[in-house]
């Protein structure tokens, strides 16, 4: 009887002592899950700085990463807003190509004023977004199926407008859109920062953003709570279409040409960035901050490999594809598993430290 009475308090005391440690370990796991991309990015920088210091640690490389990935980031922000609302748009790649082709046809072939041509190109994105919204909201077709169909139609339109050829020879007034570097920062990176701030505020700090995320988490529950889910879906599809059209204009200005298939090159990097972003800052959620971090994490990894001698065309696709698979895997495992791993790691370390201290005491 006395044995049982003394054992019970000892077990309670042990649980009470371990509870704060478990909470601390869980907090450490959550912190690691949230900011693992930052640690990996720092690791990339250190490795490449030691591997190829003469080419990686330069202003040109930094400007290249910022400028090249700014357009990818702009597209991905729109896609993330759509994903947060439960909408997956596969037509953004063809929409990118279409807006650039429209600028080329109107400016190069017909001599339109640059502002008017840009306005028409962006308006074409609005039309694409509304068409997608009609079939998704009014007809009730899954967004993946709808946008897969419109993607094929848009590809046909761009090919018809150009007969499958490239349009080159934009005036300097158009190409200068992508050239300036205020304070040494590419203007495209500045545009990304502005759009990211707007997207961050809308998605994470506004009533509209809360309604968008409620729609993505559970449209029926959101509808019962008074959210106009149809309107949220329309907004999400328009956000994707407009950011894609803006990106198409910027790409045409940056490379001084309009090509029917230019958007296809952004399909994998954008999806990889969006998925990887769900593992960062706010694991399990689509967030703008996590997305921007993911985009530049991927860009730094690819750029370092290219500078180290991996300039082959397959490097980018392989890296982004692997990142996409890893992102989806970590998202599936979830934050709880990461926290569990972290707790096990901390427990093993504590056991090792305890054993070492006991061994030291026994030898005295």
The torsion angles phi and psi of 168, rounded to 5 degrees, stand at: -130, 165
| Residue indicated by tokens 């990211």 | 196
Residue 359, pLDDT score: 54
Give the DSSP H/E element, type plus range, for residue 258.
Answer: strand 257-258
Which residues of the chain fall below pLDDT 50?
1-18, 335-336, 338-339, 341-342, 345
In the prediction, which pLDDT does 314 show? 75
Judge whether 71 lies within some domain: yes
Specify if 294 maps to a domain. Answer: yes
CB neighbours of residue 191 within 10 Å: 19
pTM: 0.82
Residue 41 placed within a domain: yes
Number of domains in the chain: 1
State residue 172's pLDDT score: 94
CATH number for the domain spanning 127: value is: 1.10.3470
Cα separation, 85 vs 233, in Å, equals 7
Structural domain boundaries, residue 154:
28-345
Q: Helices marked H in 134-287 — which ranges?
A: 143-162, 172-175, 187-205, 207-217, 219-224, 229-255, 267-277
User: Cβ contacts of residue 29 below 8 Å, gap of 6+?
Assistant: 335, 338, 339, 340, 341, 342, 343
In a domain, 353, yes or no: no
137 domain residue, yes or no: yes
Residue 62's pLDDT is 92
* Strand stretches in 53-174, DSSP E: 167-168
* Euclidean distance between CA atoms 80 and 232, whole angstroms: 14
pLDDT at 194: 97
Domain assignment of residue 10, yes or no: no
Give pLDDT, residue 360: 54
Cα–Cα distance list, 41 to 144, 295, 296, 298 (Å): 32, 11, 8, 9
37-85 per-position pLDDT tens digit? 888 899 999 999 999 999 998 999 999 999 989 999 999 999 999 999 9
pLDDT of residue 5: 43
Give 3-state DSSP helix, strand, coil % of the chain, rounded to 5. 85, 0, 15
- The β-bridge partners of 257 are 168
Query: What pLDDT does 98 receive?
Result: 97
Distance, first Cα to last Cα, the chain: 37
pLDDT digits (tens, 9 = 90+) for 172-209: 999 999 999 998 899 999 999 999 999 999 999 999 99
Q: How many helices (H) and strands (E) does the chain have?
A: 14, 2
Residue 289 lies in a domain: yes
Return the pLDDT at 135.
Answer: 98
The reported pLDDT for the residue numbered 343 is 53
Assess if residue 124 is contained within a domain.
yes
């Amino acid at each position: 009887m006395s044995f049982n009475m003394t054992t019970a308090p000892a077990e309670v005391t042990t649980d009470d002592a371990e509870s704060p440690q478990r909470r601390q370990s869980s907090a450490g796991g959550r912190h690691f899950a949230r900011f693992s991309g930052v640690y990996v990015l720092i690791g990339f920088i250190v490795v490449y700085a030691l591997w190829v210091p003469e080419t990686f640690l330069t202003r040109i490389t930094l400007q290249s990463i910022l400028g090249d990935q700014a357009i990818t980031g702009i597209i991905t922000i729109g896609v993330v807003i759509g994903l947060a609302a439960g909408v997956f748009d596969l037509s953004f790649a063809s929409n990118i190509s279409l807006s650039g082709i429209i600028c080329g046809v109107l400016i190069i072939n017909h001599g339109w004023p640059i502002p008017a041509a840009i306005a028409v190109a962006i308006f074409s994105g609005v039309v694409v977004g509304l068409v997608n919204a009609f079939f998704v909201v009014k007809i009730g077709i899954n967004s993946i199926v709808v946008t897969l169909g419109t993607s094929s139609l848009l590809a046909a339109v761009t090919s018809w407008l150009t007969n499958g050829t490239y349009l080159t020879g934009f005036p300097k007034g158009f190409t200068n859109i992508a050239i300036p570097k205020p304070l040494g920062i590419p203007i495209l990176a500045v545009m990304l920062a502005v759009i990211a701030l707007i997207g961050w505020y809308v998605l994470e700090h506004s009533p509209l953003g809360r309604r968008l995320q409620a729609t993505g988490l559970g449209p029926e529950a959101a509808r019962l709570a008074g959210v106009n889910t149809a309107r949220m879906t329309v907004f999400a599809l328009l956000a994707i279409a407009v950011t894609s059209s803006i990106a198409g204009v910027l790409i045409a200005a940056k490379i001084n040409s309009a090509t029917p298939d230019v958007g296809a090159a952004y399909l994998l990097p954008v999806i990889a960035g969006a998925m990887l972003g769900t593992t960062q800052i706010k694991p399990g959620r689509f967030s703008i901050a996590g997305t921007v971090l993911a985009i530049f994490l991927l860009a730094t990894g690819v750029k370092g490999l290219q500078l180290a001698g991996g300039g082959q065309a397959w490097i980018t696709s392989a890296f982004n594809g692997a990142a996409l698979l890893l992102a989806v895997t970590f998202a599936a495992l979830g934050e709880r598993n990461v926290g569990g791993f972290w707790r096990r790691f901390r427990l093993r370390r504590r056991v090792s430290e305890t054993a070492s201290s006991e061994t030291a005491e026994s030898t005295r």
